[in-house]
Structure formats: C-alpha cells, structure tokens
Structure 1
Amino acid sequence: MFKVSIIGGSAFSPRLEELSKDFLACHPNAILIVPTQRYASWWERKLLCDLNITSLTGKYVYDFTNFVRALLEKENISCNLIEVWKQELIVKSILLSEEGKLKLNQYQLQSPENLASHIVEIIRNLKQGGIEPDEFFYSIPSEKRGLREEVIHWVYRRYQEIMYQNSWYDVPGMFWTAEEVCKNKKPGLLSNVNAIFLEGFDDFTYSEMRLLKSFDGRVESLRIYLNYDPSPEKQDLYKLSYRALKNLEKIFSTEVRCLDSFTSENRIQFVAQNLYWRELPKRCSFDKGEIKIRFYSNRDTEIRETAREIKKLIIEKNISPFSIALIFRKLESVQKIIERVFEEFGIPYEIGFRRKFEDTIIGRFLWNWFTHLLDDKVFSILQIFHDPLWKLPPEVKIKISLILRSFGINLNHPIDVLEERLQKLPLDKEMLLGEEEDEEHIEETENIKKEDVDKFKVELEKWLNWRKIFTSTQSAKEFVEVTEQFVKEIWSYFSSGEIVLDKEKYGENKEGVGAFLKEIKVIPKFFADSNLGLETLIEIVLDMLRGIVVGTKINRGVFIGELPTIRNLKFD
C-alpha cells in the first residue's frame, strides 16, 4: 500500500535530523529529491559523513529536474531540455512566420515578436498547471475570449507542435512525460527503490504534484519534508508553504505532521529568527555566536578587506574554504572585482552561477561587434579596434586617437567621412584639419608616421569589408553562414596562443563558441518562411549571447553568490 507522510518544519526544527535518520534507515533502497543541484551536493556530502564512507555507489540524491531527466533517460527517452532563451526564439519564429503575420495582421500589432518573453511565461505557467492549449482556450466563455486569448492559444498550440516534432522539452513538458511513464509502468530508475523522500521545498506546481501522485503503486512510501513553521505568529511568512501543505493533504488524503522550532541558542540563530520580522525583537542575551558589522568607503576596499579576513580564517584557524560563504545583494556589479582580488590573494572560490557567453572574452567581442554593426559613427570602430581579439598592431592601437585627431575626426563623425579624409589628406602638419595653432596638437602629430596611418587604413578596410559582407546578406541562411565564418576566424586567432589565459577561461570560451556555432544553425530552420531584416537577426544573435551559459559548476572553495543561492545550505 502506498503510504504518504507529510512533515512540515523550519530550519530551526529537527526536520533535517529526522529526515537523515529516516533516509539512512531506508538506504540504499531510497531516493532523496531536493529543490536545487547545490542542495543535492550538500546532501551527498552529508550522507558520506553520516555513513562514514568515502564514496557512494550509485546515485541517491537528485534535484527535481535532474531526477525527472534521469527517470526518462533510463527509459531511453532522450531529454533535450531547451533553455528559456530558445523557447523565446521558438515563439518569435511563430509570430514572425507567414502564418503568424496573416493571423496577427487583423489585430494591427506593432512588432509582435516583442511579445515572445511574455507569451513564454504564460505558456510556462499554463504547463506548470497541467493545462493543454485547447483546455486553456475552451475553459474561457466564448463571450470573454479576446485578442489575447486567441493569440496565446494559437502560439501555445504551435509551440507544442514544434517541441514535439523536434523531441525538445521544457521543464514542465519533462514532468508530463515522466508522469505518463509512471502511470504505465514502474520506471527502471525506481526498480530497487521502496521510498522517495522530498526535502526543502516551499511549494509544488500542479505538474509536480501530478508526478508525485503517479508514484502510487511504484514505490511503497513517499515522504515529503516541507520548509514550514507552524508558529501562529509566522503564518504570513510561510503562507506559500501552508498552501502547499493543504494541497498535498487534499491530494493524498493524509494528515500533516508539523515540527516545532527550537528556541535560539546563540547570537547567529537569534538574528536569523528575528532580523526580518515586523516587530522589534527583545535584546539578544546570548554570548555565543560572533556577529560583526563593518563599514567600508568603497566596494574595492570592502572586497579586499573581506578577502584578507577569509585568508586569515583559512591559514590561521584552519577553516576549510568550502565552509565559507560570501554573499552579496547583487553579485553582478562586483563579480569582476571579486575575481581579481581573490585570484590576487590566492583564495580558491566558486561563483554561485554559471557565466553567460556574453561575459567571456569572445562573447564580449561578439556583443560589441553585433551591437555596433549597423552604426555609421567612428565610435563603433573604436569599440572593436581596442578589443584584444582585433589583431591591431600595438604600436597603431596606442596612436588611434592621435591619427583620428590629426585628420580632424571625432567620435561622432560618420565613417564615410573618415574614409574620405584618410584617402585624400597628406600626412603634413600644415594640412591638418582642426587646431593647427595648438602647439601640443602639432607636436603629438609629429609622432605619427605614414606607416602607422597605412596600418590603420588596412584595419579599417578589413572592418568595412566584414561589415559590407554582413549587411549584404539577403536571408537568414546567408547571415548564419557569414556569422559562422566570422566567429571561426576570431576563434582561430584566440586559440593560436597569442592571448594567454588560464585553462578555465580558455575552456569557457571554447565551450561558448561551440555552443554558439551549434545553436545559430537553428535560425534558418526556425525562420524558413520569414523574411527577417538584419536588425531582427542581430537581435536574435544578441539573445543567444545572453542565453548561452558556459563553465561547469565545480565546488572549488569559498562559495560566492546572492542570498537565494545559499537557501538550505550550511556554512561554518
């Protein structure tokens, strides 16, 4: 008989201890499912410690998405999970197709492709609720259906068709497929599993709950540990978890057991329980638990002093880097400073999320290239020429501003004016445009040699030639072919060894280029019947640069992230 237990408890309750004891009693015939990969890694380390062994034989801990992926792959169902940016690309292709234009013309929508991210979010919400396209549409009374409902219904239906034709999955789609597998038979992944545990969740989507219900008859017991505090004064904080508890109670017809929270035993626990509370807490009376508040004049000083203190903890107090976390409100604004300072101090660290391709050396270059491709100002050239991936001779690079100034060119001049003056004006200080009477200006000009200008002309011609090739493309297919050729040339120079990088940064650039060259091939396929302009194609490429992620998540040392990334984790 399928037995379901639902236990609610906060981080200050015996929830983890009870779960650990129950799981080990069922091991190795049990699987633990948690919300995130990082929390799964934490539990794997905890189990090794509790079992007093050095390695686990087999996989026993998963985050929910990877559990579903593993379940399907065990059934020989290949899970090609596509990212959100690619889902938006699919929706854009639907909106910009000939069928889409005919359907949307009557509504006189301006730039309908800009609705892609909004529609993807709606589709995701519908799929999480287990709602199919027709079910969504016909659940709305006909007199209340309007433009919005008709467009969403049509796009959602086409989106599902494209996903099915290509064997692609979004996350809710994987859960739907896993549910069907479990309804039809006992999956291979669960062949030796008697108990499934879930830990650390606040809520479940309807699609997730349906999958949990499909475990009935496939395992003997399902035990769900939710992050919930039953204290009456904290019900508003745990409103989401309370709703999940009630839904689970209804679906599985079982009682919920709640665990009381501990009282604070040290300063850190006291602050954790009282800091974000509507009323002023009583004064802390604990001596144990060290909390320090420091002020710094700027970010650089703050990070440098923090790194110095972390280094001291590692060396003098023998605290493992893996037991230290450094948390910021917004990591993006300080990430480069952190990387520079921590590498300078020799502190092993791990950034709490994978980098976007646009943040790598090649990604930044491509971002600048496509962002300024249609600009006709001199400024757009300098953005590229000063990049290390543009092979401009160093002796010319440092004189670019002088060369431009010598010919009376400023950053806002059109590029064709620059071309014209470089062709016609001799390198003669009496013929210079601009401030001839400025002695400093004339003295600077004397440092410019004719060969410097000639080299600059060569690079300018190269830039103009590439731009001409791009702007002359007549179709998405041609644009992709030119982009592939351009990226391969950039990669050839990057991988030649002239740019010295550590193994990790080289690897993430290689991974990013490989993913980009693979993904860009879908553009002609998606937009086969769409007459896309160059601006739209450039926007699609920029979306790819933003969407592709690189780098493998490896626990290397001090964890650096934002507050949500340390949810459920513990540090010294």
Structure 2
Amino acid sequence: MAGQSQILRQILQSDRCVVVLHGPAAAGKTTAGLEFYRHYQRPGEGSACLMIAPNIQAIGYLKRSILKSSPGGAVMSPAVTSFSAVAAKILGACSVKSQSLPTYRRRLLLRQILDDMKCSIGLPALWAVADAPGLIVALDRTIAELKRAAVDPESLSAVIGPARSAEPDKIRDLLQIYRRYQERMQAANRHDVEGQLWLARDCLRDGEAKTNEQVGLGGVSAVVVDGFLDFTPTQLEMLVLLARRVDKLAITLPYTHDGRGRLWQWTNRSLDRMRHAFAADLDEIACPPSEDAKPEIQPLQPLWEKVFNIDAKCQQGQSLPAELHLTAASGIDAEVASAARRIKRLLADGCRAGQIAVLARSMDAYSPIIQQIFAEHEIPISPRTESLTDVSIIRFVLDVASLSPEFEFQNVLRIIKSSYFLPSALGAFDAATVTTAEAVIRQGNVLLGRQAYDDAVGRMARAAKMATEQADGNIEES
C-alpha cells in the first residue's frame, strides 16, 4: 500500500463493490480516479481497469494524463472510452448486428417521415410549420432527449393518455413521428446512439450468466467513471449491470455539503438516483477541497459571486453594474424575445443598429428564431455567416484563455505559432525563443507538465554540450 493516496486506500479498503467519490472542483476526484486506474495496471499488458468518460475531450485529457504518469513514457492501449464505445464492443461480442445511423441520415429519415405523414394521416398541429427551417433539428434533438430518458413511444403514449378534445395537439404529432421513426429504424436494423445503448443494456441484462469475455469485457476487473454530472436511466442501468461483473466500480461526482443546495441540485439528484440504484452495494467517500486549489480573489470575484452563486442572498446596497442586465427565460423563443425587447429600448434611446452585436451559442439553432422575432420587433439585422470562433483574433484569445497550468503542447504550439503572438510582450524574448520552444516540444516529445518541459530542456542542453565537445575534439585532432 506504500505510495498510495488516502482516497485510493479508502476505495480499495471499502467492503462495498461500488464507491462514489464526491467533492467540489479541484478536490482530487479525477486524480484519485487515475490512481485507481493505475492500480490495476499490468506490466506490458495494459490496465485491467476500464475508464469511462463523457466525451472525446475528456477521453483525450485522461489518456494524456495516463501517458504523462507512465514511468517509461509509453502506454499500451489505454482503456479510456465512452458509453457508446462500450456499447458497440458489447454488441459486437454478443453478435448483435446493428448499424449506427449518423446525424445527417437520421435527419433525412425524419424529413421523409414528415413528408409521408403530410400526404397520409396529416399533422394537425405541425402541418403549418412542417417545412420551417429548424423543425427537423428540433425533432431530432427531442427524440434523442426522449430516448436518453428511456422513454419509448409506448411510454410516451401512456403519459399523454387519451385525447381530451379534437383540437390539434403538437405532442400527439410528436408521438406519431417518434413511433414511425422507431418503426423505420427497427425495420432497417439501424440504431442511433441511444438505441445502441438500449441494445447493449439488454445484452448485459439477458446475458448475466455469460462470462466477461463473452460480452466483450475480457480482462476487465474494475471500472472507473469520471467527468459526469448526471447519468441517463440507460447509462445508470448499464453501470448497475457492470458492477455485478467487476471487483470494484468507482464513480466521481462533483457534489459537496456546503449549503449551496441549488448549485448542487442536479448532482445531488444524481447521487440520490445512484443510492437508489446500487442500494447496499454503494459506499460514499467525500473528497475535501485542496487548500492549494483555492483560487485567489480576483477583481471580478464579487460580481462572480452575485451572478453565479444562485444560493447567495443579495446584500442590501449591492447591485449589478448598470451596463449588465441578466434575463431568465424558459426556452430559446422567450430568450430571444427578451433580448429583442432590450435591443428595442437601446434603439429608442438613440443607439445605432450597427453598434449592437448579438452573440448566440449556436447559430444553427438560434438564427431562424432571431430572424423571425427580430422581424416582428422591426429590428434590422445584418447576419454574419462566420462563427465568432472562426475569427482568427478571437480564436487566438480563446486559445490563450484556455491555456491550463499544465501547458498541453497542442495549446502552446497554437499560441506561439499564431501571427498574433508577440514574444516581447512576455519579456526579453524574440522569434528565436519561439523557435527554441517549438524545438523543445517536438524534439523533446513534451506532452504536458512543467516538469516535462524542464526535463526536455535538460536533455537537449546535455546533447548540445556533448555535440559541442565532440566538435571541439575533432578540431583539435585535425
């Protein structure tokens, strides 16, 4: 047990097969998860622990962290993956033939279903907007959300119940579209991501008598799940079934008892669901915040506390800056309408239209709604086809802002090779410094971490010194 952290010892010593590590940000949950993963590392064979992360960015970060901590600077097939990849592996091992359907194919299928329904049974509520931009995207996202919540067409029909009137009902139109979507997918033996998770869950549930090798989990004796705020019902069911097949299942969750109930509302709900799902098999380990991780008070800290600490009570005399207005809206339409009203007041006060910029998270979703609602408010707009993140100077600023203390080599290279980067702004540096830094990263095989940069510089300095001494020796001999 030498060299193990206190949290890892608690995980390994727990008599429960499922352990939840919960704590605030920077409390060491991911670090403990990585240490748990390395505990199952087998020399020359990889790890007997499977690590599940929510997205490709988290998977990449975890793989780099595993590589960084490897004594030999190399890792054999790090077992870091996603739920969808685990599902695909289970389906393959169980000989379930299922072809995944990409996003554009799903949306083409929905377009065909809408066109067919318009010509046959009709769409009483959605007929008028059946050809409207954005409807197919909205339907695709709604169906995906229903499937993530494990709501199939029959369950949705039971919730809706019998029609109470002859008036058009968009929920019933959605039910008919969803039902036909499922029928077409099943007839073609194709599945979306959520559908494949359903199939994998069924394979695990129906194959409890099978060995791990027979369900695609050969060699796996532990599982760690990191980076999730919540789990869909299907994901949680898969975790319950996986826990029965491994020695230990560890899950990290951002949550702590600090009096901010609303802040932790969703992760608290996730923890309650896990308590119900795993019951007596669950153990909880609290990860206290690290003193070293506490950020210094910044100039905007009071504003941050007031805007984002939704549990804090407004103290008398405090108010937001006059230039800042916050709006709470239930949905995109209400959000855009609120922004339109604010812009209309600015225009009435003498502000010119060209002086107002409207930024949105995704123009695919917002653009049609902005155009419609702004037209209703008689607000002239000049839409930009270019995303803000595609503007080179903005992209450079975002790269600088996202540079972590670990100095990942991709981020560093993007910054120092940008034409907007000015070395002299950081001190007595010039273009030669940038060239040297790039050489250190590329020739020194630096991934991330200050120590890795120090080590690479040391190796290159020693190599340069030896080369110089060798050259001097050759000159003297000649």
Q: Which TM class, normalised by the smaller chain length?
A: 0.5 to 0.7
Question: Quick one: distance in 1 between partners of 2:392 and 2:178?
Answer: 51
**Higher radius of gyration, 1 or 2:** 1
The verdict on how the C-alpha distance between 1:322 and 1:5 changes in structure 2, with shifts beyond 3 A counting, is same
Q: Which runs of 5+ in 2 are unaligned?
A: 1-14, 42-46, 310-388, 422-430, 436-444, 455-478
Give the Å deviation of 1:14.
Answer: 2.4
Give the Å deviation of 1:309.
Answer: 9.0
Structure 2 match to 1:175: 197
Q: Of 394, 401, 409, which residue of structure 2 is paired with 1:321?
A: 409
Give the Å deviation of 1:20.
Answer: 2.2
Structure 2 match to 1:153: 175
Structure 2 match to 1:243: 269
Instruction: Provide the secondary structure at the position in 1 that maps to 2:85.
Output: helix
Structure 2 match to 1:44: 63
- CA deviation vs aligned residue, 1:34-80 (integer Å, no higher than 9, x gap): 11112212212222232313333334111232232233234344553
Give the Å deviation of 1:274.
Answer: 7.6
TM-score in terms of structure 1 length? 0.48
Instruction: Provide the secondary structure at the position in 2 that maps to 1:23.
Output: helix
Q: Of 181, 190, 211, which residue of structure 1 is paired with 2:217?
A: 190
Please tell me whether residue 86 in structure 1 is matched to residue 100 in structure 2. Answer: no
Give the Å deviation of 1:275.
Answer: 7.1
Structure 2 match to 1:377: none
Preserved contact between residue 95 and residue 112 of structure 1 (Cα < 8 Å): yes
Structure 2 match to 1:408: none
Question: Quick one: distance in 2 between partners of 1:172 and 1:279?
Answer: 35
Give the Å deviation of 1:222.
Answer: 1.7
Give the Å deviation of 1:173.
Answer: 0.6
Preserved contact between residue 4 and residue 223 of structure 1 (Cα < 8 Å): yes
Percent identity between the aligned chains? 18
The verdict on how the C-alpha distance between 1:147 and 1:325 changes in structure 2, with shifts beyond 3 A counting, is farther
Preserved contact between residue 195 and residue 222 of structure 1 (Cα < 8 Å): yes
Structure 2 match to 1:259: 287
Please tell me whether residue 29 in structure 1 is matched to residue 117 in structure 2. Answer: no
Structure 2 match to 1:277: 305
The verdict on how the C-alpha distance between 1:102 and 1:251 changes in structure 2, with shifts beyond 3 A counting, is same
Structure 2 match to 1:215: 242
Moved more, 198-207 or 158-167: 158-167
Count of equivalent residues: 318
Preserved contact between residue 50 and residue 79 of structure 2 (Cα < 8 Å): yes
Question: Quick one: distance in 2 between partners of 1:74 and 1:227?
Answer: 34
The verdict on how the C-alpha distance between 1:36 and 1:272 changes in structure 2, with shifts beyond 3 A counting, is farther
- CA deviation vs aligned residue, 1:465-520 (integer Å, no higher than 9, x gap): xxxxxxxxxxxxxxxxxxxxxxxxxxxxxxxxxxxxxxxxxxxxxxxxxxxxxxxx
Question: Quick one: distance in 2 between partners of 1:271 and 1:245?
Answer: 35
- CA deviation vs aligned residue, 1:513-546 (integer Å, no higher than 9, x gap): xxxxxxxxxxxxxxxxxxxxxxxxxxxxxxxxxx
- Aligned counterparts, 1:131-150, within 5 A: 131-144=151-164, 147-150=169-172
Please tell me whether residue 123 in structure 1 is matched to residue 123 in structure 2. Answer: no
- CA deviation vs aligned residue, 1:113-169 (integer Å, no higher than 9, x gap): 443333222211221111211121023231458632332222111111221233322
Preserved contact between residue 230 and residue 258 of structure 1 (Cα < 8 Å): no
Question: Quick one: distance in 1 between partners of 2:24 and 2:253?
Answer: 8
Instruction: Provide the secondary structure at the position in 1 that maps to 2:285.
Output: strand
Instruction: Provide the secondary structure at the position in 2 that maps to 1:104.
Output: coil
Question: Quick one: distance in 1 between partners of 2:198 and 2:190?
Answer: 13
Q: Of 76, 79, 88, which residue of structure 2 is paired with 1:60?
A: 79
- CA deviation vs aligned residue, 1:408-441 (integer Å, no higher than 9, x gap): xxxxxxxxxxxxxxxxxxxxxxxxxxxxxxxxxx
The verdict on how the C-alpha distance between 1:189 and 1:230 changes in structure 2, with shifts beyond 3 A counting, is farther
Q: Which runs of 5+ in 1 are unaligned?
A: 282-298, 328-337, 349-555, 560-570
The verdict on how the C-alpha distance between 1:266 and 1:154 changes in structure 2, with shifts beyond 3 A counting, is closer
The verdict on how the C-alpha distance between 1:2 and 1:29 changes in structure 2, with shifts beyond 3 A counting, is farther
User: Given residue 152 of structure 1, which amino acid in structure 2 is its aligned partner?
Assistant: L
- CA deviation vs aligned residue, 1:330-353 (integer Å, no higher than 9, x gap): xxxxxxxx98868xx9999xxxxx
Preserved contact between residue 124 and residue 169 of structure 2 (Cα < 8 Å): no
Question: Quick one: distance in 2 between partners of 1:157 and 1:557?
Answer: 52
Give the Å deviation of 1:198.
Answer: 0.2
Give the Å deviation of 1:179.
Answer: 0.1
Question: Quick one: distance in 2 between partners of 1:245 and 1:325?
Answer: 40
Q: Of 232, 248, 255, which residue of structure 2 is paired with 1:228?
A: 255
User: Given residue 56 of structure 1, which amino acid in structure 2 is its aligned partner?
Assistant: V
Structure 1 match to 2:34: 20
User: Given residue 179 of structure 1, which amino acid in structure 2 is its aligned partner?
Assistant: R
Instruction: Provide the secondary structure at the position in 1 that maps to 2:127.
Output: coil
Question: Quick one: distance in 2 between partners of 1:10 and 1:183?
Answer: 34
